Every structure is written in C-alpha cells, then in structure tokens.
Amino acid sequence: GAVVSQHPSWVICKSGTSVKIECRSLDFQATTMFWYRQFPKQSLMLMATSNEGSKATYEQGVEKDKFLINHASLTLSTLTVTSAHPEDSSFYICSASLQIGTEAFFGQGTRLTVV
Amino acid sequence: AQSVTQLDSQVPVFEEAPVELRCNYSSSVSVYLFWYVQYPNQGLQLLLKYLSGSTLVKGINGFEAEFNKSQTSFHLRKPSVHISDTAEYFCAVSGPYNQGGKLIFGQGTELSVKP
C-alpha cells in the first residue's frame, strides 16, 4: 500500500524559534497533501491543503504567516511553524491521496512541544 | 457543507463482547465515508471505506460498517473485540468534489476494551 512518512516524529523547541516538519509520499506521487492539527483528546482539524507547485490553501482561522507550507515536489510537502509559542504545541499529521475522493494515507504524525 | 457526528465519546466494553461505534453524517451531496483508527501518538490507519456499491463494508481486523443513506449513518461494528482494539476511532467523510483526500472528521470515539 501507499506509504506516507513524516519527520520528525517528535520535536521540542524553544519559544520564538521555527520548526520544519516534512511529509513524504514514499511510493507514489501526491499532487495534493493535507495538513491536520490534533489537540489532545480531540479530533483532527484540517489546517491547509498543499498543492504541488502552487500556494497552499488554508482553512479559515489558520494563520498563513505562522504555518508556512511548501510543496516543492510531487513527493514532499513541508510545514514550518514560525516563531513558535507554547500554544502551537500539538500533534501535526499530514496525509496524501492517490486520487480524488478515495483513501487518504496518513503520516505517523509529529508531536511538537514548544517550551 | 458536510459534518460528521460520532455519538459516543467513550465506549467501554469487555473483551470478546460485540461493539458498535456510531457515526452520523450530514451532507447535501453524495459522500465517501471512512473509519480510521489511531493508536496513541501515532497517525491514522484506515479500517474501511464506503465509496459506492454494497452498503455493508468489511474492513481490517474484523471490523465492518453499514452505510445507511436514509439514516445518514455509517456505524462501525465488530462481533468480538480484543484488548488490542483499544484505541481512538474516527469516522470521516469526503465529498466527491473535494480535492484529493480532504476529510472532515468526527470528534472521535475512545474504545476501551477491558479483560
């Protein structure tokens, strides 16, 4: 089956620094990837849709300048949390689909802790 | 707009007992439906999906779900649960016009299997 790899699995950073999270589709090309955020004991909330070669589409309420998304190739999308603060601490998960409307394959998630 | 409601936030059950996790959705267009499982600090794994055809869908790990269009439901069932089924379960919907695998998730149901 299709594999999506996310790196790192966990990261601790100091407040005010930036953190980059990578999402790779290992055995297929993903023209579209998705970034979700999950608070403890809560559901996944879509943050943005990452489109290869173009700007990401952000959901309402998500700060574009805070969460920078780059989708430079068909197998790699990155999420950069800029000037991180403790309230940005969360579990971030990416996903990618092979085709419209079908199964999305998820990365293993990244636990971000900002201290 | 689409939405998903998981009617139970927590479901405790004894090992080898049957279980049903309830999911209702709201949509003005036809949808694709999914159930995912999430183990602690991990990404999501697809249990099963309904795209079209037979309304009874069988998935991995002995789970099955039935799509009921008139009741807008997609309940997940397993006739006999194991300790290893303890996890968080998410119902999700994707519309046919949604880009790639853009998913709307329910709030999640925590299944706790006790010996």
Q: Rounded to an integer, what distance in angstroms lies between the CA atom of residue B67 and that of residue B77?
A: 12
Contact A101 B95 (CB under 8 A): yes
**pLDDT tens per residue, range B24-61:** 999 877 788 999 999 987 888 999 988 888 899 999 99
Q: Is A42 on the interface with B (CB under 8 A)?
A: yes
Residue B25, classified by CB atoms within 10 Å of its CB into exposed (0-12), middle (13-18) or buried (19+), is buried
Rounded to 10 degrees, what is the CA torsion of B41, B44, B48, B50? 140
Q: What is the pLDDT of residue B99?
A: 45
Which of A11, A91, A102 to mutate against chain B (most B CBs within 10 Å)?
Answer: A102
**pLDDT tens per residue, range B81-90:** 999 999 999 9
Do residues A106 and A23 make contact, with C-beta atoms less than 8 angstroms apart? no
Residue A114 token pair: 């900002």
- Listed as ranges, residues in chain A with pLDDT below 50 are none
Q: What is the pLDDT of residue B42?
A: 83
Residues of chain B neighbouring A60 (CB-CB closer than 8 A): none
Alpha-carbon gap: A96 to the closest alpha carbon of chain B (Å): 7
